[in-house]
Structure 1
Amino acid sequence: MQVVTGEEMREMDRHAMDDLGMKEELLMENAGRQAAHALEKKSAPAAGMKTAVLIGKGNNGGDGFVLARVLQEKGWNVDTLLLSDADAFQGAALYHKDLYERCGFTWEYWSEKKSERIRKEYTLIVDAMLGTGVKGELRQPFKEAADVLKKAEGTVAAVDIPSGVPSGEDPVPETAVQADVTITLQCPKISAYLQPASRFYGEVEAVDIGLPGKALRKEREKKQLWTGQDAAGTLERRSGDAHKGDHGRGLLIGGSAAMPGAIQMASKACLYSGAGLLTAAFPSSAAAVPAGAPPEVMMLPLQEENGYFSREVQTDDLSADAYDAVAAGPGMGRGKGAEVLVKQLVEQAEGTLLLDADALYFLPEHIEALQQRRQPVVLTPHPGEMARLAGVSVGEVTQRRFSLSRETAVRYNCCIVLKGPHTLVTMPDGTQTINTTGNEALARGGTGDILTGMILGMILKAQEIQPAVSNAVYLHGLAADLAVQHEFDSYAMASTDIISYLPPAFRSIISSL
């Protein structure tokens, strides 16, 4: 499913109307009717149930008139409240206001007296006030209405987007509507996957308003949700006569005397994600690595210095060109040896290269070498690491996840996996996928190491990097979801518990093939 900004959605609408000849009144009818149907499924009217529809003068208000008409035609008790002057309606919104009136339905203006009743008397309050075209703090009477909705006892449902919430990466004003559910039209908006904007949406459901496929393909910057259907459609099919070499030879570099667990977790996750053969390279004094790693992993102890990789270590010691993919970073620290290794891997490693954790620290000095690499590179930063890669603050990373990831992926010529809620995968050509799995259980040390191992396992023999990486991210989150759903509380669990749920996560996808 495509994800867009408000401007991109308006461009699709314009293309459908101006170039393809679709009537705006028809699009608005479809939008309001589909939103009404979605609300009808969620809240079948009970005895005494009252619904209020709050309407502004723009297209969002036109959608609201359609929705109010459809619900009343189905017997709902609906009060329609205008927050704009009736004479201010234009175009398709005016058409549907007039149609609403000609069908025998009435409306009244928003008033202070009415606002007091909305707090307690209405089971459902529909926000169809402003839509995607508004920026900055809300003005009266919309500001007052938003404040009333925050205190309302009933369910607040927004049409397309909560009023005041930006559709893109702009800051969220304090006066924005807080919805319990948002019925978004045709395509979700990117702010639904940004913090703090996503908190204002509540549950998000997208409805098809009938835009032609040709109009949907007008989006210039491709962004899509990555779902179970996408994972099932792209997960590698394995042949019954395959041997271990067919499933890829991987090299995982990391660990230290202080942090042996990182490479242990990454190794196990890699094996559980399809690797045929895996070698773990670590400082020789990190004795806990071979002790805790799965027995299937081949061990490659290397020269060390104070528990970390020695600066004398060379990629020749690794025979890195013998592997289909190499991952480096988990638990390796930021010593001189790690810096030397990362530089040599960027410049010399054959096959796909995956860099995570401390390995990312050294990359800003090697952008030119990354740009010249012909084989794919995958970087997996959390927001703090992304801030260093992009040369910005952590706050800017949080605010500009989409645009900053795209700029950085293009600049570094890499696939960027920006971790966090709705982990974002961005390719060097700017295409992006938004993950739809995961929960707060992933907010603990070690889960990033597990993801590194999973990505390594899934890119070893992948013909295309993007689906392999997106599937690893999806299954990583799905394993956490299954762990919380079936056995653990997100408080009382360890990162390693997630690994034990990788088999059922894969099974759930494979069973749908």
Structure 2
Amino acid sequence: MQVVTGEEMRLIDRYAMDELGMKEEILMENAGRAVAEEVEKLYAPSQDDKKVAILIGKGNNGGDGFVIARTLIEKGCDVNVWLLPDAKELKGAARYHKELYEQSGHTWAYWSQKDKVDGHKNDDIVIDAMLGTGISGELREPYRRASAVLENGSAQVVAVDIPSGVPSGEEAVPQSAVKAEVTITLQTPKCSAYLYPAKNHYGKVVIVDIGIPKKAQAAVEESKQIWQEEDVSRTLPEKSPSSHKGSRGKGLIIGGSTSMPGAPSMAISACLYSGAGLLTAALPESILTSVSVNNPEVMLLPLPEKKGYIAPEIISTDFTFDSYDAVAAGPGLGRYQGTKAVVKKLLQGVKAPLVLDADALYYVPELEQEIKERQVPLILTPHPGEMARIAGVSVHEVNKNRFSLSRAFAVQHGCYLVLKGPSTIVTTPNGDQFINTTGNEALARGGTGDILTGMILGLLLQKGDVSSSISNAVYLHGAAADLAVKHEFHSYSMVSTNLIRFLPLAFRSIVSSL
């Protein structure tokens, strides 16, 4: 499912109207009816005698509001319509639907005439159809006051397309923006629905189809898509009854240190649970026993070590990577003098997909030439702090510009970038982006990133499309956390290894639908 900024949505609308010949009035009718039907599904106001108030602005959102009002009234709902601007300010399709609403025998009043002290205390549902994606900065009156009244009231706030005042992209969210319990988004969700703090204003996001053809949506050059369950089902490689361990991929994980033996252990388990046929772990010799106890299926390759870390002497050994279908490095590796040499050898010597995570990312800024010279896929999996270091910006800038920063870095360095966090974004070397919506706060703990690294490696070994393999791993990683919290754990009382137990169930939920 496509995700857009406000400007991109306007481009889609213009293409639908100017190139395909769709009438704006019809699009607005479709939008308003779709929202009204969703309100009826969510709250059943016509059946439960709930009072509905609709706050209407002067733009297209206001026109949608008049269609919503007319549709709900004709369904038997108790609806009051409040217009915030002067009626003369409504133009085009919005004016057309206001007049159609009036000619249908329905009335409205100016919001300025409403008792603002009492707010909407007698309303059960307030529909925010005030402002759309075309505004920026703090709300002005009377919208600012209306937003404050809604925040202090007890009615359920339902926003049309986007809460009034919330930007559609990566811009700052004004304090005066509306906070909704539900946002009914038209046709395509907006980028800000997957960014904090804007996400806090959306509440539950429901997406409704308003009939815009896919050809119009293709007019947007930058591709941003939500990666959904059907995408995983469509792209997860099927296993033949005649398959064997060799056909399921041969992988290598490099990492570990005496202070962090658990990190590679979790990555190994996750990789094995994600389909790897044969897996080797290259680790400091001193931690081999502790890792093998938890993962008897893995083959072990002892590496020279120095003070508990993999020694830089690895670069002068006969160690090669030619027999592996994919390699991952970083979990528990540590930041020390030899890390840079190890990562450099990997970048130069691995001629298969290479995943770099955790401490393997630390020296990425100093190895840009080696990164640019790679001819095979490189996958970087930073959290915001690691992204800040490798991009040379602050963590604040990373969180503020997750889409644009990810795309710029991935395109510039020719790599796949997995920017972790709420709504993890996978970006390909050509700038395509895939947004994940699975997962919960249980993932905010040490070790879950190591598990994701193992899962990415395990799915890369299945030799499917690289981008799909990465996105599938991210989706299933979050799905496992959702299942863990749903069936057994509270997000407070869960550790990372608990997540691994739910990987089989996450895979089964997908495979059973194939």
Q: When the two structures are superposed, what TM-score results if normalisation uses the length of structure 2?
A: 0.98
Count the aligned residue pairs.
513
Gaps of 5+ in 1: none
2:37 paired with 1:40: no
Question: Residue deviations 1:360-414, cap 9 Å, x none?
Answer: 0111111122122111010000000011111111001101100100000011111
Equivalent in the alignment of 2:331 = 330
The answer to whether the 8 Å contact 1:264/1:292 transfers is no
2:313 paired with 1:312: yes
Q: When the two structures are superposed, what TM-score results if normalisation uses the length of structure 1?
A: 0.98
Task: State the 1:127 CA deviation.
Answer: 0.2
Task: State the 1:113 CA deviation.
Answer: 4.0
Equivalent in the alignment of 1:243 = 244
Equivalent in the alignment of 2:428 = 427
The answer to whether the 8 Å contact 1:282/1:289 transfers is no
Question: Residue deviations 1:45-97, cap 9 Å, x none?
Answer: 25442100000000110000100110001111100001100011100000001
The separation in 2 between residues aligned to 1:317 and 1:64, in whole angstroms, is 70
Bigger Cα displacement from structure 2, 239-248 vs 287-296: 287-296
The separation in 2 between residues aligned to 1:395 and 1:285, in whole angstroms, is 39
The answer to whether the 8 Å contact 1:262/1:449 transfers is yes
Equivalent in the alignment of 1:487 = 488
Question: Residue deviations 1:444-467, cap 9 Å, x none?
Answer: 000000000000000013231011
Question: Residue deviations 1:454-484, cap 9 Å, x none?
Answer: 0000001323101100000000000000000
2:10 paired with 1:10: yes
Equivalent in the alignment of 1:452 = 453
The answer to whether the 8 Å contact 2:438/2:478 transfers is yes
Equivalent in the alignment of 1:178 = 179
Alignment of 1:460-475 (within 5 A): 460-475=461-476
Task: State the 1:319 CA deviation.
Answer: 2.3
The separation in 2 between residues aligned to 1:316 and 1:69, in whole angstroms, is 76
The separation in 1 between residues aligned to 2:512 and 2:42, in whole angstroms, is 29
The separation in 2 between residues aligned to 1:47 and 1:324, in whole angstroms, is 60
Partner of 2:120, secondary structure, is helix
Task: State the 1:307 CA deviation.
Answer: 0.5
Equivalent in the alignment of 2:506 = 505
Task: State the 1:288 CA deviation.
Answer: 5.2
Partner of 2:322, secondary structure, is helix
Equivalent in the alignment of 1:191 = 192
The separation in 1 between residues aligned to 2:76 and 2:119, in whole angstroms, is 20
1:490 partner letter: S
The separation in 1 between residues aligned to 2:501 and 2:218, in whole angstroms, is 40
2:170 partner letter: E
Equivalent in the alignment of 1:103 = 104
The separation in 2 between residues aligned to 1:274 and 1:204, in whole angstroms, is 33
CA-based RMSD: 1.1
Task: State the 1:321 CA deviation.
Answer: 1.6
Partner of 2:363, secondary structure, is helix
1:366 partner letter: L
2:186 partner letter: L
Seen in structure 2, the aligned counterparts of structure 1 residues 487 and 402 have a Cα distance that, compared at 3 Å, is same
2:327 partner letter: V
Task: State the 1:135 CA deviation.
Answer: 0.3
Task: State the 1:317 CA deviation.
Answer: 4.6
Alignment of 1:102-141 (within 5 A): 102-111=103-112, 113-141=114-142
**% identity of equivalent residues:** 60
1:4 partner letter: V
Seen in structure 2, the aligned counterparts of structure 1 residues 315 and 148 have a Cα distance that, compared at 3 Å, is farther
Seen in structure 2, the aligned counterparts of structure 1 residues 112 and 85 have a Cα distance that, compared at 3 Å, is closer
The separation in 2 between residues aligned to 1:150 and 1:389, in whole angstroms, is 40
The separation in 1 between residues aligned to 2:381 and 2:337, in whole angstroms, is 21
Which 4+ residue blocks in structure 1 deviate beyond 3 angstroms? 116-119, 287-293, 315-318
1:508 partner letter: S
Alignment of 1:10-89 (within 5 A): 10-45=10-45, 46-89=47-90
Question: Residue deviations 1:422-452, cap 9 Å, x none?
Answer: 1110000000110121001000000000000
Seen in structure 2, the aligned counterparts of structure 1 residues 317 and 487 have a Cα distance that, compared at 3 Å, is farther
